């Protein structure tokens, strides 16, 4: 299993956002708190997206093999499932609340609830996208590893002594094994 894969994040602002949107409160005070929490949730969402994109870029540059990448994708999937378990019930409750309001409530309340739902769902989509990208990278690396490589003929004189010294310098264990 890959070491150093960290996909945990501060899911707190998103949980607070959907909980606040789900709660009842004084109208103007509730709207102000909800707008404030949405701004925090949006900032946390952008930071999380940046973190996951950076993680993918680091992994892509690392040169790890397909098996390692599949293990990393599994870690991301488990993180996604954990976050989904925390957020999905609140998001579903918000959707039901929005459907129940229909046209009976004002447009501002419906818009705030819909934006809260959108932030929560966007949060949940980020690890899924990372999982998909890691799986695609693993598949590409597996295909590349299975390709047959063909050597090109050497042109000109070959310095066999220099070539031997270079190989021994790269792989000192070969010299030890030959000496035994």
Contact indicator for 126, 50 with CB cutoff of 8 Å: no
Give the pLDDT score at 132. Answer: 93
Contact indicator for 87, 119 with CB cutoff of 8 Å: no
Question: For 18-57, what is each residue's pLDDT tens digit?
Answer: 665 556 554 566 677 778 888 888 888 899 899 999 999 9
Give the pLDDT score at 24. Answer: 56
pTM of the model: 0.64
In terms of average pLDDT, the best of 23-32, 59-68, 171-180 is 59-68
* DSSP class of 19: H
Give the pLDDT score at 130. Answer: 92
Give the pLDDT score at 4. Answer: 46
Report the C-alpha gap between 42 and 16 in whole angstroms.
12
Give the pLDDT score at 38. Answer: 80
- Look at residues 90, 102, 111 and name the one whose alpha carbon lies nearest to residue 15: 90
Average pLDDT over residues 138-154: 80
User: Is the per-residue pLDDT at 9 higher than 60?
Assistant: no
| More confident: 123 or 13 | 123
Q: Percentage of the chain with pLDDT > 70?
A: 79
Give me the helix-helix angle, 107-146 and 27-62, nearest 10°. Answer: 10
Q: Which of 5-9, 89-93, 167-171 has the lowest mean pLDDT?
A: 5-9
Give the pLDDT score at 5. Answer: 45
Contact indicator for 70, 135 with CB cutoff of 8 Å: yes
Neighbours of 81 (CB within 10 A): 12
User: Is the per-residue pLDDT at 155 higher than 90?
Assistant: no
- Look at residues 56, 31, 52 and name the one whose alpha carbon lies nearest to residue 122: 52
7: its two tokens:
């996909």
The rounded radius of gyration (Å) of the Cα atoms in the chain is 26
Question: For 93-111, what is each residue's pLDDT tens digit?
Answer: 888 877 877 666 667 777 8
Report the C-alpha gap between 75 and 52 in whole angstroms.
13
């Amino acid at each position: 299993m890959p070491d150093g894969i960290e996909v945990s994040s501060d899911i707190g602002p998103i949980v607070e956002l959907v909980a606040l949107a789900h709660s009842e409160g004084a109208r103007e005070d509730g709207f102000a708190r909800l707008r404030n929490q949405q701004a925090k949730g949006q900032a946390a969402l952008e930071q999380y997206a940046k973190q996951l994109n950076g993680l993918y870029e680091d992994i892509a540059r690392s040169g790890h093999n397909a098996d390692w990448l599949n293990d990393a994708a599994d870690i991301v999937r488990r993180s996604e499932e954990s976050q989904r378990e925390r957020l999905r019930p609140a998001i579903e409750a918000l959707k039901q609340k929005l459907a129940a309001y229909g046209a009976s409530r004002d447009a501002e309340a419906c818009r705030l609830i819909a934006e809260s739902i959108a932030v929560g769902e966007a949060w949940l989509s980020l690890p899924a996208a990372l999982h998909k990208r890691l799986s695609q990278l693993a598949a590409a690396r597996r295909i590349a590893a299975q390709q047959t490589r063909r050597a090109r003929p050497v042109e000109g004189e070959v310095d066999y002594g220099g070539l031997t010294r270079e190989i021994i310098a790269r792989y000192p264990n070969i010299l030890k094994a030959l000496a035994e």
